[in-house]
Chains A and B, each alone.
Chain A
Amino acid sequence: MDKSVPSLAEAVAGIGDGAVVMIGGFGGSGSPIELIHALIDRHTATGHPTGLTVINNNAGNGHVGLAALIEQGMVAKLICSFPRSADPVVFTQKYLAGEIELELVPQGTLAERIRAGGAGIPAFYTPTSFGTDLAKGKPVAEFEGRPYVQERWLKADFALVKAHLGDRLGNLTYNKAARNFGPLMCMAAATTIVQVSRLVEPGAIDPEQVITPGIFVTSVVEVPHPAQEEELNRAGAIYPEPAP
């Protein structure tokens, strides 16, 4: 078995119109910039995919990565906790113009919904959001005298995740706090596509150090020296690069 694929284009080739796509990262940390840009390249060349539902903690920053995906008009709906950033202009304009739908989810609830999706748990109860606008319409139940809100699992057709080391069986490690949503999203998508800074042979990662076991991963593509969203934004980058 070898889950490695030779190119980013090949890795994202199966993502079709209307797909539900989880994208890893918390702000720029862990954002799979190269996978997102490969999807944009396909859209530039073919007009597809469009009408995506994207699940991410945020809504992009500047004009690269997730923000660029939104700017290209490829995203119909965003499920996130915090659609603000240092430069949230792309999402803000689309949202205020009514061109993108937003489902706002408390951050811990978002994480647990994704975990539940990956773990085969259709619903769970959480204290979070009880008595607030974000609990409207959701069932409430009391446990040990306290009220809890029912939340449902989140699943996706695809997950795009950035990891650090990945072997050909899909076992992964992450870099520092870039781990964030990665292990959860890997579990919750039917097809999980991971970009890794270094592709290694099975055995090169100490089994004690594996964070995401390969069973949750469909394909691995090597992207040495991946871009950091924060650094691209500080350099004023725009994707795709405007014609000179």
Chain B
Amino acid sequence: MTDRLTPTQIAWRAAQDIADGAYVNLGIGFPEMVARFQPPGRAAIFHTENGILGFGEAPPPGQEDWDLINAGKKAVTLKPGTAFFHHADSFAMVRGGHLDVAILGAYEVAETGDLANWSTGPKGVPAVGGAMDLVHGAKRVAVITEHVTRDGKPKLVERCTLPLTGVGCVTRVYTSLAVIDIEHGHFVLREKLPALSLDALQSLTGARLHFAGPVADLIVPEL
């Protein structure tokens, strides 16, 4: 029995909620995996901040065009219908409410919808990129994350302790254990792994879980 989902499985689950034709921005790193699991018959159009809509997968090694990269600076490819645009247009798409979904990683998510995902504190070189822009404007801002940190601390909390990326911006969280909506300042549990008790899930969550209707089983294929 699965005791927690792998990152790949979390990405799979998040992909199931993306509609055909949706305009989607995937954060750098872990969220990029979501693109691999679009359900059959659906094709989202992916946006990357540096100025491409509708790009394709990575090219084979040796065939990269370094003028054709994504926000993670990895090489991508053209597809029929790809569009290029400059950075101000790109962020007009972001902040102007034109994206349907943004899926981001997180250090902490609060029950208020606050997100911390850009800085672990004052040490080192600070870097923000497009994170603070992406949390504003998309119709849905979803987070995919492990449910707890490597040392077992909850990542879903009452209030973030790390520097904020945005206030009240996250609408849904896909974790290694559950799918949780954020509504009116509460975590509302929608799905959880069948083998996991509500008490166990609550003990791994840093804020109270609320309920609105039945909790579905979170069932994800082995990947």
Q: Which A residues are within 8 Å of any B CB, using their own CB?
A: 26-30, 57, 81-86, 88, 91-92, 95-96, 102, 104-112, 114-115, 126-134, 174-184, 211, 228-231
Contacts and interface: CB of A to CB of B under 8 A. Distances in A.
B167 interface: yes
Nearest to B85: A179
Closest 5 CB pairs of A and B: A108-B91, A108-B133, A131-B167, A111-B87, A127-B136
Given A28-B66, A106-B132, A128-B133, A180 B166 contact: no
A107 B133 contact: yes
Given A81-B129, A106-B129, A228-B67, 20 more contacts: A26-B50, A26-B87, A28-B73, A57-B87, A83-B126, A92-B124, A106-B132, A107-B133, A111-B86, A112-B91, A127-B136, A129-B132, A132-B164, A176-B68, A176-B78, A177-B68, A181-B86, A228-B66, A230-B64, A230-B73
B137 interface: yes
Interface string B63-85: 01111110001000010000011
A22 to B, nearest CB: 12
Contacts of B48: 177
Contact of A29 (B50, B86, B136): B50
A177 B128 contact: no
Contacts of B85: 179
Contact of A183 (B64, B86, B125, B167): B86
Nearest to B86: A183
B194 interface: no
A110 B132 CA distance: 12
Contacts of B127: 81-84, 104
Contacts of A29: 50, 66-69, 73
B58 to A, nearest CB: 14
A208 to B, nearest CB: 15
B95 interface: yes
B95 A126 contact: yes
B91 to A, nearest CB: 3
B171 interface: no
B49 to A, nearest CB: 6
Nearest to A130: B167
B90 A81 contact: no
Contacts of B136: 127-128
Given A81-B129, A108-B130, A177 B67 contact: yes
Interface string B49-61: 1111000000000
B166 A108 contact: no
B128 A106 contact: yes
Contacts of A176: 52, 65, 67-68, 78, 84
A179 B84 contact: yes
Interface in B107-155: 114, 119, 124-133, 136-137
A111 B40 CA distance: 36
B165 interface: yes
Contacts of B64: 230
A107 B84 contact: no
A30 B86 CA distance: 11
B166 A177 contact: no
Contacts of B39: none
Given A30-B67, A228-B66, A104 B51 contact: no
Contact of A107 (B67, B91, B126): B91
Given A128-B132, A131-B166, A177-B84, A83 B95 contact: no
Contacts of B124: 92, 96
Contacts of A102: 125-126
Given A177-B67, A184-B86, A92 B125 contact: yes
Contacts of B125: 83-84, 88, 91-92, 95-96, 102
A57 B71 CA distance: 11
A105 to B, nearest CB: 8
B129 A180 contact: no
A68 to B, nearest CB: 18
Contacts of A108: 49, 87, 90-91, 94-95, 130, 132-133
